[in-house]
Every structure is written in structure tokens, then in C-alpha cells.
Structure 1
């Protein structure tokens, strides 16, 4: 599939987006920065290093022997995402976002979170880079 940013924000023949006019310029700036840096070897190398040394990638596969026997044939492997920094996959995306924000000259990161894990990952990554961070959580999500 062609990158959504490169195809006017549509996913193949489906989808699209509604964005209030007030935040369109900010999203356009993020899209432009993404297109500028997505193939940049320095950016990609820095992200790869952070994923390895800060997040703990790559995580191992665990052969679930008992579960495999219980199912009676199919070999079951579990990808150990729980071994990542902060115990989830959330840091994968957040580190790329933080690096992009830095290159855009941003000093402050904001994020929303439902159950809290994305907020924790965002705050941890922002702290790692010395950036101010504010997390928003809906009253019904608490």
C-alpha cells in the first residue's frame, strides 16, 4: 500500500479524514516533516539505535510448548512485547514521533491516552529528550 500521506490521506480507495481547519496547518507541517525525514539515514539510524538500546528491541519469540500441545498440532510462539521498556509496544511509535518533533524544532509534546500506556510512553520518551510533555485523558477513560 502506498503511504497515506503521499496519497492525499486516503487508504487505497477507502477512508479519508475530517480535520478541523484550526489544526490543519499543524498536521500539514507534521506530514511535510515526515516526508522530509522518512528516508533520511541519520534519522533512521538514530531511531533504530533508540529502539534497540532504549526500548529493548528486538524482543524474542517464546515457544509456548504447553499451549502448543493443548492445541494439538500448531506450533505457537509468543512475541515478548512485554519485555520492551515500559512493558508494551507503545514506545515504538512514540520514539519516532519525538525524533520528528525535535527535527521540527518543537520543545513540547502533547498526547492523549485512553488506558494510560500511551501517555506513560510519551512522557518517558519526552523526559529522555528533555522535552516538556502534557498528557490528556478523558474523564470517562480514567
Structure 2
């Protein structure tokens, strides 16, 4: 896997996390082009998340600016945000890697909600962490 963006990039990761990240990279490489994995992800995106989300023609804005403006209604995805799209993919990868537990952090709460939803649909024990300042 490419580890840099142009001449920049790289990574700084505490050494204790490297085995988990190496395992994750191997799992990603194994399943990223797997047709059955993609079909399973498509199933959950459609049947659980509610994708594809609709386009809404914003007639008033279109008229105001003299162009056609459409809004992609990701807010209508189950859970109210686009975050579930990514969380379902990550949770499905975890399932295929034989994991039984997921953890996540959240700031405003949307990512945590989406991870909890993905964890629930796959039957994972799930823990969501939020910083003390974020809870205020």
C-alpha cells in the first residue's frame, strides 16, 4: 500500500499500535477487490443505510442563480448523516477479519452514532469514546 502522498506524508504511530495497523492493512488488501465483499457492502448500504440517497432539485436556488442546483440528500441516510457509509464498510471489514468488538471516538457525536449502528447491525460489542470537552 502506498504510504506517502507525493514527497510528503508518512506516518507517526505509537509502536504498540503497529501490529493492529499491519493486520488492518492486510485485511484491507485482501478484501478491497473482493467481489463478494463489495456485494455484501452494497447490500448493507442499500437495505440498512437506505442508499442511494435521493437528489433534490433546489428550484428556488436554481432560479435565483440561473443554474440547475441539486442537493444530494445524505441527511436522509439511516442515522441522519453520511458517516454510516464509511462505518458500515469498516465494520464489515472487521467482521471478515474475525473481529468481535469495535471501538471509535467521536467529537460531535455523529461518527459515534454511525459506528454504534454499524456495530449493532453486525452484532459487535461496541464502545464509543468522547472527549470530556466534547460532552460539554
TM-score range, shorter chain: over 0.9
Select which of 16, 34, 49 maps to 1:55. 49
Q: Are residue 139 (structure 1) and residue 132 (structure 2) matched?
A: yes
* 2:102 maps to 1:109: yes
1:94 matched to 2:80? The reply is: no
Matches within 5 A, 1:29-108: 29-71=23-65, 73-108=66-101
5+ residue gaps, structure 2, are none
What are the ranges of 5 or more consecutive residues in structure 1 without an aligned counterpart? 1-5
Q: Which residue of 2 aligns with 1:3?
A: none
- 1:17 matched to 2:5: no
Q: CA separation in 2, counterparts of 1:101 and 1:47?
A: 12
Q: Deviations over 1:41-79 (max 9, x none)?
A: 1111000111011101111111101011222x1211100
SS across alignment from 1:54: helix
Q: How many residue pairs end up in the alignment?
A: 135
Structure 1 residue aligned with 2:21:
27
Change (3 A) 1:74 1:14: farther
If the length of structure 2 is used for normalisation, what is the TM-score? 0.95
Output the TM-score relative to the length of structure 1.
0.91
- The 2-side partners of 1:14 and 1:63 are apart by 40
C-alpha separation in 2, matches of 1:135 and 1:92: 17
